[in-house]
Structures are given as structure tokens and as C-alpha cells.
Amino acid sequence: MGYGPWIAPATAGQIEHLPGHNSSYKRDILLEYGAELEAMLGAETVLHWHLCSNGHRLYLEPKARIAHLNFDRLGSWLPALFYSARIFAATRSRSWSWRRRLFYTTAAPFIPIPRLSRIQAQVSKMRRCADPSRIPASFLPVVVVGLITSAVGEMTGYAMGAGNAGHKLCRYEFHRVSHLKS
């Protein structure tokens, strides 16, 4: 749901968005954010938008590999999605007027619709490159539940800010192994 755009075979080159928490940056550019750096790294999509709008380029190198653990328990994955989406929305909207925040708060329930379309396109790409039988039948219902959870997180972030979502998210992100099935 979150890393579909970078599924192999990816093409090396300049792109508009990188995989969050799995990217490297030039230190001097990040330091320009000063006190805002922590918030920007907490919502890297917003950081990528900001970097691109300021003339910086993002580059994808598909030969780069990382070891990544996905949550395999709904009871861990869904809260992590909620907190991450809340942080994203709060960071994205921090300088918006109350009217714009209200608009996005009320529109948030519709966010799963375009996101599901993008995910379906990414799955089609994956099926051309991998064994389709490896995609479980439960894929679609689980993704829909995840998209709804994420939308509720965004709605909360637009309406009420990040609150203590960063602290709560850390319990999941920095202790992933304890959130895996044995």
C-alpha cells in the first residue's frame, strides 16, 4: 500500500517522490530546515514536495536495496497507519487557513478512492513482473481497511493536528520486530 510506486522493475532516474524512511538526503539541504526538520522527516512526502518546489531533484536508484520489515499484524499495522497519516496531514496543513483545513477534513473520507485506483495500477504492474498467485485473495479487503484507517488519520490530522501521534508511532516504527507474528 505504501511502497507500490517503487516495485521492481523500477527505472533509475529523477522522480517526484521517494520511498519514505528509505531515502538519503544531502545533509546541508536538510539542515536548512532548522527547527522544521523533525516535522519534515516525520512526513517525508511533504518534504519531497517542498524539496521539488524549491528546485531540488529527487533520484531513484533501483539497484539500492534495504532490509525492510512490514507489519504482519493488523493490530499493529492499522494504528501505525493512523498515526502516520495524522502526522502527514498535520505537517502538510500546518500553515493553512482554518477554511482550507476544514475543507480537507470534510474531504478526507473520499481519499481512499483515488489511492485505491493507484494501488490497483501498481498491482497490475507487479502482476506483469511477478507470479500473480503470490498475491493473496485477502489483499483487496485488507488494503481497503488500511485506506480507510489512513483516511481517518488524515481527517484527524487536518482537524486537530498531530497531537501525540509522533510519540505513539515510535512504539511501532522503532520496535517492528515486536509487532511481527512469531
Compute the Cα dihedral for 141, 88, 42, 167 and give only its sign. negative
Confidence (pLDDT) at 175: 85
> How far apart (Å, rounded) are the C-alpha atoms in residues 177 and 182?
9
| Structural domain boundaries in the chain | 4-60, 74-179
Confidence (pLDDT) at 128: 60
Confidence (pLDDT) at 113: 94
Confidence (pLDDT) at 87: 96
Confidence (pLDDT) at 93: 97
Confidence (pLDDT) at 56: 95
> How far apart (Å, rounded) are the C-alpha atoms in residues 8 and 68?
15
> How far apart (Å, rounded) are the C-alpha atoms in residues 20 and 2?
9
- Cβ-in-10-Å burial (0-12, 13-18, 19+) of 41 comes to middle
Residue ranges of the chain with per-residue pLDDT less than 70 = 125-135, 182
- pTM, two decimal places: 0.83
Residue written as cell 511533504?
46
Confidence (pLDDT) at 176: 82
Compute the Cα dihedral for 169, 177, 41, 54 and give only its sign. negative
